[in-house]
Homo-oligomer: A and B are copies of this chain.
Amino acid sequence: MDRSYLRRYHANAIFHRIRLIPLISQREIIEQTGFDKSVVSSIVSKFTEMGLIERQSKPDANRRGRPSEGLLISPASGLLVGVEIEADAVGFVVCSLDGSILTSKIEPFDGDLGGIPQFLKRGVAAVVEASGSSAPVLGLGVSLPGLVNSDGTLVHVPVLGWRDVDILSHLQSVTDAPVFVGNDGKAAAMAERMFGACTDIDDFIYLFSGSGVGGALFLDGKIYGGADGLAGELGHIKVVPQGRFCSCGASGCLSAYLSEPALLHEIERLGGKAPADFSCILEGAEGGDEIILNVLDHAGEVLGSAVSSLINVFNPPVVLLGGNLSRAKAYLGASMQRALIRLAHPAMYSRSTVQFSKISEGMPLLGGVAIALDGVTSLDGPHVFK
């Protein structure tokens, strides 16, 4: 924290106000942030000088006085590229700095770690090309389904079998722009913060289910990382003593009750006709399959128990459930709710809202973009703003 810290803090807050509320005026920024008018004025003019934002006269309501000028992120100011690596596919997205999507595509992936740099380099180049924009790429964000520590080392990716890879160095060759890597749960949480349900919420707990169960702790306006940046592994909260075995080697983890493989396995165990993936589970549920409905109902109960622990521990304004949890809302929401009422402390539960993510369904590829945007606008990173 040096003496320009406050300046960067101001610049940042102003940038994000403009990003979130296009055509906002300086006066409105002042109202919303409490910053001094001269601070806002000087930073806004700096931004316009840099070509980062544009002023646009807006047909104001017939009102006396000098009309306010609307501010917006210039579409030509720069691009962000997001990459989401999964077990069998890699998603690419190009956005402009305000987060509006220009292009996206999904490519099948064979899981070869060595080929990653080349694979991403081609993919990124292709999607940037396809975007038709000639703006410079300002940041690349890569989301990975595993443990990524704060040095950018990939500690473990269970579904791909990768361990202890200095992934950040690997990826430096992909682009000249700064590269940011992150865990998929944190990336998804960041997407909710940047573009989704929590744009104005400084504290929320994000929990999602997919091939595993993960999450993130968004506390005091940022993702909490702990000692090594690994915090937020909510899938490995213990929910049952001596419970089911988990891919992490322990037993009784939440992940062993809520992940896609765990649900598939449980349905099979109970004699249901084994679905191929989560979409099939949902189809079965829609069709009224009793076994599947029971499994999802029980999953909701386990989820409710875990969420009640999170509420009691964090007293969060919002708990946000994403991924498959969001898709299965109709089948596990009720039992979760019952568990919450029974188990969460009333003083805290009454002040929390547990909600399901919309981003998870609508545009699940924004995680990478979000960590790129966060990286590029972070207060101590290699950020692009004065």
State which residues 200-254 of A face B: CB under 8 Å.
203, 217, 219-220, 224-234, 236-241, 248-252
The contact of A239 among B241, B313, B314, by CB within 8 Å, is B241
Stretch at the interface among A24-32, A58-66, A342-350: A342-350
Task: Given the known inter-chain contacts A155-B347, A227-B203, A228-B351, please indicate yes or no for A233 contacting B312, CB distance below 8 A.
Answer: yes
Kindly state the separation between the CA atoms of A18 and B155 in the bound complex, as whole angstroms. 39
> Does A1 interact with chain B (Cβ within 8 Å)?
yes
Stretch at the interface among A2-10, A270-278, A326-334, A357-365: A2-10
State which residues 345-380 of A face B: CB under 8 Å.
345-348, 351-352
> Does A315 interact with chain B (Cβ within 8 Å)?
yes
Q: Do B343 and A251 touch (CB < 8 A)?
A: yes
Interface magnitude class on chain A = 35 or more
Q: Do A220 and B217 touch (CB < 8 A)?
A: no
The contact of A237 among B225, B227, B313, B347, by CB within 8 Å, is B313
When distances are taken between beta carbons in the complex, the residues of chain B under 8 Å from A324 are: none
Smallest CB-CB separation from A230: which chain B residue?
Answer: B315
> Does A96 interact with chain B (Cβ within 8 Å)?
no
Q: Do A348 and B308 touch (CB < 8 A)?
A: no
The contact of A229 among B224, B232, B315, B352, by CB within 8 Å, is B315
Chain B: minimal CB distance from A216 (Å): 11
Q: Do A233 and B313 touch (CB < 8 A)?
A: yes
Kindly state the separation between the CA atoms of A65 and B217 in the bound complex, as whole angstroms. 51
When distances are taken between beta carbons in the complex, the residues of chain B under 8 Å from A351 are: 227-228
When distances are taken between beta carbons in the complex, the residues of chain B under 8 Å from A6 are: 1, 3, 5-6
When distances are taken between beta carbons in the complex, the residues of chain B under 8 Å from A234 are: 312-313
Chain B: minimal CB distance from A347 (Å): 5
When distances are taken between beta carbons in the complex, the residues of chain B under 8 Å from A233 are: 312-313, 315, 345, 348
Kindly state the separation between the CA atoms of A153 and B343 in the bound complex, as whole angstroms. 23
Chain B: minimal CB distance from A190 (Å): 17
Chain B: minimal CB distance from A382 (Å): 20
> Does A259 interact with chain B (Cβ within 8 Å)?
no
Q: Do A227 and B309 touch (CB < 8 A)?
A: no
15 extra A-B contacts, CB within 8 A, seeds A238-B305, A250-B308, A250-B344: A220-B220, A226-B316, A226-B348, A227-B315, A227-B348, A228-B347, A232-B315, A233-B313, A233-B348, A234-B312, A236-B312, A238-B343, A252-B305, A252-B343, A309-B309
| 23 interchain pairs, CB-CB under 8 A | A1-B6, A1-B9, A5-B6, A6-B6, A219-B219, A219-B224, A220-B224, A224-B314, A226-B314, A227-B351, A228-B347, A230-B315, A230-B347, A231-B315, A232-B313, A233-B345, A234-B312, A236-B309, A237-B309, A238-B309, A238-B343, A241-B302, A249-B346
Q: State the 5 A-B residue pairs at the shortest beta-carbon distance, nearest first.
A: A226-B315, A236-B312, A231-B315, A230-B315, A227-B317
